[in-house]
Every structure is written in C-alpha cells, then in structure tokens.
Chain A
Amino acid sequence: DARVTQTPRHKVTEMGQEVTMRCQPILGHNTVFWYRQTMMQGLELLAYFRNRAPLDDSGMPKDRFSAEMPDATLATLKIQPSEPRDSAVYFCASGRSTGSGNTIYFGEGSWLTVV
C-alpha cells in the first residue's frame, strides 16, 4: 500500500534551533506539496514542486523557511531559526501530474512544537 512517508512524526525543539522535516513521496509521483496546518490558519500551502523543480513557494516565509528536493525520492522543509509561531502540523503530499487536478495523497504529518 503506497503512501507518503514523513519524518519526524513529532518534534519538540527550542526556539532558535534548526528543524528539518523530510518527506518521501509515493514512488512515481512527480509533484510534491508542503502544507502547514494550524488552528488559526487552517491548511496553508507553503511550497510545491513538479519534477523536483520548485513551482511556487510564495506561501513560505522566505527569511527562515526553505524547501528542496535533492532527488525524486526526498523532499525537505527546513526552518532556521525556528520560532514558537512555527508550531504546527506540517504535511507533505504527492501526486502524479499529467496535468492539473490529479489527486494528491498526504503523509501523516510532522507535528512540530517550538518552545
């Protein structure tokens, strides 16, 4: 049963520390999305990639967040330095894009707490 895999599942870190979240998309999927979920803002799109190229990262705070796809099986989201307001659930999703509108499948999320 293919699924998107995210690590870590839970992370508690101190303010100012670097946090790296990793995502392994479903094999064969060429679009990868990073979403952030908070009670106040709901699901926010941070960045997404197609064929490893970043298409849009306008939803991401540029000063401290960065997203990359070193290869087709790994996407990373890094926060440096982390702040308490970054506490949220970060979801990775992937899809097979032969055009827009393909279904995207989510990982279980990385629950981040910055204290």
Chain B
Amino acid sequence: AQKVTQAQTEISVVEKEDVTLDCVYETRDTTYYLFWYKQPPSGELVFLIRRNSFDEQNEISGRYSWNFQKSTSSFNFTITASQVVDSAVYFCALSEASGTYKYIFGTGTRLKVLA
C-alpha cells in the first residue's frame, strides 16, 4: 500500500533562515510520481513540483529546492532564505503508475516564518 509520511507537524523559523521539510513515502511500484503542494492561509492548494521515480536529479527553482533520494524513499523540500510569504502548510503527495490514478497526500507540515 502507498503511504506518505510528513513527520514534522509544525516548524517555526525566523525570516532568512533556511528550512527543510521532510517527506518519506512507501510504495511497491517501481514507477511512481511525487508532488509538493503549498496551502497558504487563504486555503487554496497550489502545485509546486512533480517528479517521477526515474529522475533523481535535484531540482532548484529560485529559493526552492527538492532532494529526491530513492535509497531512503525521501523527497525533501528546502526553502532557502525563507520569507514571511512562505508561511503555509506544505503537502507531499504520491501517485503510483499502476493505473489507479490515486494521489495520496501526507498530513502536511505547517511552516511559520517569523519576521
């Protein structure tokens, strides 16, 4: 069965600090997809990144970077030089390529960036 674990319930950092959000997943499939979504205080869920299981290259987008390691089944998300606008709940999600089209979400990590 597929599962996504975000062990960090809440993290508080001071502006300009770097912060890493952890995501550990479980799946029996060899082909799968991982995602990160952001949910700001306004409530909508915003797509951030999608990564397939064959691409272990780290990705950087501005202050955001993602570290995918199949050996540890982790897909961690780092925000460099955090800003108050980064305050949100961040969700990691997994979709298997077994044709079920299910997307399973972790419980989310609430990030508070303090000015």
Interface residues of A (CB under 8 A from B): 31, 33, 35, 42-43, 45, 48, 50, 55-56, 89, 91, 93, 97, 99-101, 103-109, 111
Is B108 a contact partner of A45 (Cβ separation < 8 A)?
Answer: no
**Leading 8 A-B pairs by shortest Cβ distance:** A101-B33, A106-B45, A43-B105, A100-B97, A108-B44, A42-B107, A101-B95, A103-B50
Determine how close the nearest CB of chain A comes to the CB of B62; give it in whole angstroms: 19
| Residues of B close to A56: CB separation below 8 A | 100, 102
Is B99 within 8 A of A100, CB to CB? yes
Q: Evaluate contact between B101 and A55: CB separation under 8 angstroms.
A: yes
Q: Residues of B at under 8 Å CB distance from A?
A: 31-33, 35, 37, 42-47, 50, 52, 91, 95-108
CB distance from A90 to the nearest CB of B (A): 12
Q: How far is the CA of A56 from the CA of B31 in the complex (A)?
A: 21
A104-B103 in contact given A89-B43, A109-B44 (Cβ < 8 Å): yes
The answer to whether A99 and B97 have CB atoms under 8 Å apart is: yes
